[in-house]
Amino acid sequence: MNIGIRFHDTEDISFEERVANIKEQGFGCAHVALNKSFAGFAGDTAMTPGFAMYLKKVFARNEIDIAVLGCYLNLLHPDPEKLKSIQETYRAHIRFASVLGCGVVGTETGCPNPEYRYVPECHSDKCFDAFARNLAPVVEDAERFGVILGIEPVWNHSVYDAAHARRLLSILASPNVKIILDPVNLLCAINADSAQSVIDEAIELLGEDVAVLHIKDYIREGNAVRSVAAGFGQMDYTSIMRFAKREKPYIHATLENTTPDNAEKALENVRAAYAAV
């Protein structure tokens, strides 16, 4: 695997120093969310070709791939005008990515409220259909610009399990839509005791379309599942590491929920888990 880290989880120093530090720590790629990585980021109007080329040059100088350009906005926002603005931001990210040369533009799958929080309606057919409908024009732009759009299923959102993610891929029927698989994001208090079955199902149903892995860990705390850095919880990595080793050569796998203090240890933990299968 090409193991990476979320840029905004790294030490808050200058941009070029942060990229160099990612390399020094032993990572090979990064997940970049522009609004979380650059203080005062001006939004869509800031995403010029020149900015994309500058980022590309700095990352390339340090031999770091940009695995994911994150655009994790709510494509189920109930305000039509706000939704239109969100769709335009996704389009801007796709244009930017086409110059940047990153792996995928990443998105989660929305909740039907402005707060982007889980409500039972998230798991309704109505929300699923609305998300697919709202995503469709973004997919058209991804195809037009030759960019991969990565869909990340999350239990709290409208595409909340592997079966619904498979259904979404079938509906969109686009070669430019793939999956960002984060096994922990498919877990909740209801299914955490069957975590291995959930992960195995995701690999079986989605494996052929997985373009990126997100790697973290979890701790079961009463009626909640709390995400932590890789190797600091109770995750069994056997299936996901075996899948990566056998079926996804050189896949980008970015760590989540790390801090500057534990990132290198988390990287060590993932490398050990990968070597063990």
DSSP string computed for 191-206 = TGGGHHHHHHHHHHHH
Q: What is the pLDDT of residue 103?
A: 87
- 10-residue averages of pLDDT along the chain (277 residues): 97 96 98 93 95 98 98 98 98 98 96 97 98 98 98 98 98 98 97 96 98 97 93 97 98 98 98 98
CB-neighbour burial class of residue 64 (10 A; exposed 0-12, middle 13-18, buried 19+):
buried
The answer to whether the Cα torsion of 254, 255, 260, 264 is positive or negative is: negative
Give the pair of three-digit tokens for residue 94.
Answer: 């796709």
Residue at 191: amino acid letter: N
Domains in the chain, number:
1
Domain assignment of residue 216, given as a range: 2-275
Q: State the residue for tokens 């244009």.
A: 95
Q: What is the pLDDT of residue 219?
A: 97
CATH number of domain containing 34: 3.20.20.150
Half-sphere exposure of 26 (CA within 13 A, CB side): 11
Q: What is the pLDDT of residue 39?
A: 87
pTM score, two decimals? 0.96
Q: State the residue for tokens 């792996």.
A: 103
Maximum CA pair distance of the chain? 50
